[in-house]
A and B are shown apart, each in its own frame.
Chain A
Amino acid sequence: MDITFNHVSYIYQANTPFAHKAIDDLSFHIPSGSFTAVVGHTGSGKSTLIQHLNGLIRPSDGEVSIGDYRLTNNAKPADMKELRSRVGVVFQYPEHQLFEETVKKDIAFGPENFGVASEEIDKRISRITADVGLNEEQLERSPFDLSGGQMRRVAIAGVLAVQPEVLVLDEPTAGLDPRGQHEMMEMFHNLHEQQRLTTILVTHSMEDAVRYADHVIILNNGTKYMEGKPEDVLSRKEALQRVQLDVPEMVQFLDAFEKKFGKKIPFRRQSAAAIASEIRDRLREGDRYE
């Protein structure tokens, strides 16, 4: 499903002295099947943006379309529940939302609520358990006996068990160790490819945005600051620093390399190995002119 924001604004506590505009005249289009990274500071409007995607909130102004569903200030889809079964949201620290006696019951809670038959739920659970890297024995255990990383996998399995077409991830790797972060991002990347999901990743990690996304939206103070391909957006060092965002390390390095050697190596999301051979070639070609 594709997603369009058309001049969307959202005001918290409207018509009170505490009114606060979290999103201001925001427009963008996310094509179906894309992997979009949404990057911005705390307070830039990221969380407000994603709450629109499954209708938890509706725009104060403007229109949000998710596939055929339309959300405006005074109109919402007739079947909100259906929208929510098609857009799965993994909130920050989703392990805090676990509550059932066993892992299996916790994963089944979502699809049961959406009326999925129990044989079908069992089938999905055995498939998803493998997808998220849990094992069958863990299904009968209490989710609270698992490690933090495993608990998070259970919570994510619960979202996947509804088989959404759009998967929204709000900083899914926060608090994990480096290996856990890497494994989890690889897992989402595989799911994205295998199940042709439309994936929206909210992140602070420019490295993850570079590695996994094919489309980047940068938010600042509730408005769209930049949008485009990761190699174009994330290579604009000065523009990113102006809103105090990090620049991917590779971009920083290529920039410093150019300053020191006067040779430009364009950023194309190439691997470290590819950069190394480009550096070698550029340094050698320089020698010929000397």
Chain B
Amino acid sequence: MLKNCSFSIHENEAVAIIGHNGSGKSTIAKLMNGLLFPQEGEILINGQPVNAETVWDIRKDVGMVFQNPDNQFVGTTVQDDIAFGMENRGIPRDEMVKRIAQTLDAVGMQDYRLTEPHKLSGGQKQRVAIASVLAIFPKVLILDEATAMLDPKGRKEIMNTVTMVQEQRHLSLITITHDLQEVVQAERVIVMNKGKVWDEATPRGIFARKGELRSIGLDVPFVAILSEELRKAGVPIMNEVLDQDELLEELWTSHSTM
């Protein structure tokens, strides 16, 4: 699945990992919190190697939210669910009560403390899953296609929540995704292809390689496609654009020199 992969992710950095299905993205996620161990090479989290002895310590630092909102609930109420992870780590009751309130506040779910999980929407469930992870005070938060099963509204809820949480807590955020909006929001993008790191750059740098991205089965944003077509049609677009405002700005500049 993975061949000779090396990269580092910094503290307080938002990184997106993209790649077609089977490219090794989720294997990376599972290696990062010791659900799998590498057959060759080494993974260091905060200077500590991930192995059978350190895995329980590592998991205090690395929180993970998975794709399917329905597979991540154990509690009968939202607060029980958040308490579960903390109970496993022997956190005292007073502290748990405090953290439940804090984390529900952080994901905007404070009104749902006593709600039964099955009554929540997909987006709300994923926000609770994020709260459960945050309650452990991780240093790294991994979202493994956590928005893939949500509708557009749920997706926005999660991305707003995650951006807010990252700002407040200075986490390393790793988003494994196919969603272009999530990629554009990252500071850095790691592109996986056939088990190898294909490229590592800013979103702008990555999307500049449009044709190649498509050839490895990935999408490029509509504005990147349109600016390519504009160039073909004879409208000069000087800079690589990431969103509509940037493209309109480019058009404005080229318009005044046309």
Contact = CB atoms under 8 A, between A and B. Distances in A.
A250 interface: yes
Interface in A238-255: 244-246, 249-250, 252-253
A252 B153 CA distance: 17
A43 B67 CA distance: 20
A149 interface: yes
A121 B170 CA distance: 59
Contacts of B247: 253
A273 B233 contact: yes
Contacts of A176: 21
Interface in A268-289: 272-273, 275-277, 279-280, 283-284, 286-287
Contacts of B153: 41-42, 244
A175 interface: yes
A260 B258 contact: no
Contacts of A245: 152
A174 interface: yes
Given A174-B148, A178-B217, A245-B152, A276 B21 contact: no
A260 B252 contact: yes
Most buried by A among B19, B121, B154, B222: B222
A148 interface: yes
Interface in B206-258: 217-219, 222-223, 225-226, 229-230, 232-235, 244-245, 247-248, 251-252, 254-255, 258
B36 interface: no
Interface residues on A, range: 35 or more
A284 B223 CA distance: 21
A130 interface: no
Contacts of B248: 256-257, 260
A175 B67 contact: yes
A253 B222 contact: yes
Contacts of B219: 178
Contacts of B152: 204, 244-246
**When A and B form their complex, which 5 residue pairs have the shortest distance between CB atoms, in order from nearest?**
A179-B217, A276-B229, A178-B219, A249-B222, A276-B233
Interface of B: 19-22, 67, 121-122, 145, 148-149, 151-154, 178, 217-219, 222-223, 225-226, 229-230, 232-235, 244-245, 247-248, 251-252, 254-255, 258
14 contacts: A42-B122, A42-B151, A177-B20, A177-B178, A178-B218, A180-B20, A244-B152, A253-B226, A256-B248, A273-B229, A276-B232, A280-B230, A283-B235, A283-B255
